[in-house]
Structure 1
Amino acid sequence: MPRGKSAGKTPGKPARQLLFSEALRQQKHPSMEDPPPFPRSRMADDTQGATMDRILQEILAVSRKLEGMDSAMEALTAETRSMRLDIAGFQSQISGLDQRVATVETQVASWTDRDQELLHLRSKLIDFEDRSCRNNVRLLGFQEGIEGADMFSYLRETLPKLTEITFDPPLEFQRAHRLGPKRQNGNGRPRPIIVCFLCHMQAHQLLQAARMQRPFRSAPWKSDSQLISPKRLPNEGKPSYPFILASLT
């Protein structure tokens, strides 16, 4: 090739080889710019298949677990529904019990008021009984049968002499009697005499004399000692006023 002529008209050998390779590539893969990937080996395909099988097995196991969870959820839902029904029944019963408790509370309140009223009435009854017993005098040590057939006449005659008191007006009694059944043989301690005065002042004078005049002068009856005292209230351990005791020997 002469030195003076142009060198770009005819390419050299390396350039021709590149052009030939490019034309051959475009002829084999006209729609792809890049060459096809390198073919994979059979071992790689087996590994990928085993991995896919394992993944499928895991998916199936998860699916079975989900099915079991669905069954458990259905059972739990049924149990929850049953519990709701039970709770509704309990609420109904509680409402009924609330009404019954309100009724019982009302009754208890009325009973409390009634108890208070009964206590008040009992207090008044005790006071009335106390007032009635203030006129009662108990005579101890008087021989059985000494009063004869008329207790009032015997007491009107004996008590003024015993106490040396002139009662004006004369002694008046509402009742006078001995306590307890009459003894058959007449032995033993004589039964006490209970005297209820019509006038409280006469009973008070008699008790005051029994307290102040000790010993009394000798009396016609035969006994070691005679006592005059207020009558105790029934069901009471102590009298409601000071106990007065006198010896009548």
Structure 2
Amino acid sequence: MPRGKTAGKAPCKPARQLLFSEALRQQKYPAAAASPPPSHDTMSDNAQGASMDRILQEISAVGRKLEGMDTAMSALTAETRSMRLEIAGFQSQISGLDHRVAAVESQVVSQTDRDQELLYLRSKLTDLEDRSRRNNIRFLGFPEGIEGTDILSYLRDTLTKLADVTFDPPLEFQRAHRLGPKRQNGQDRPRQS
């Protein structure tokens, strides 16, 4: 296109509207007409600056909050570490107590078994003592030394003569002895047989 044709043309439509709106503004607000109208770039720079300041303030506030949270998190971490150490100590104490309780329980079971065995042996001893007393016979009045060296034969013969009975089968003694220490004095009463 030739240059001359575009130079003579009227300004484009948006530029005309700007000029028209500027003229109206000057008519309505003569004081504002003295100052040049703010350009579109200046307005957006001011708005962008205010918006950036606001964003920076909010970022700074978030940073302060994060620092506070970081401090709180450090405190929580330290407290958690302390609690873990305490729990580990408690676990070792509980483990030691478990071993001690198991040892005591086994001793109690063992002691219970011993107590039962002791009761059994006591009753057995009592029974044996009673049985041995039932079969014992005491003879009084036999002079010391009359039995000689074989007290069992002497008792068997003497009892057969005293009872005037023949025992079939013959009397059987497991053992026979005098009770107590041997008397030194012949005048004392003879020991029991």
TM-score, normalization: structure 1?
A: 0.37
Q: Which has the higher contact order (CA 8 A, sep 6+)?
A: 1
Q: Which structure has greater helix proportion?
A: 2
Q: Which structure has greater strand proportion?
A: 1
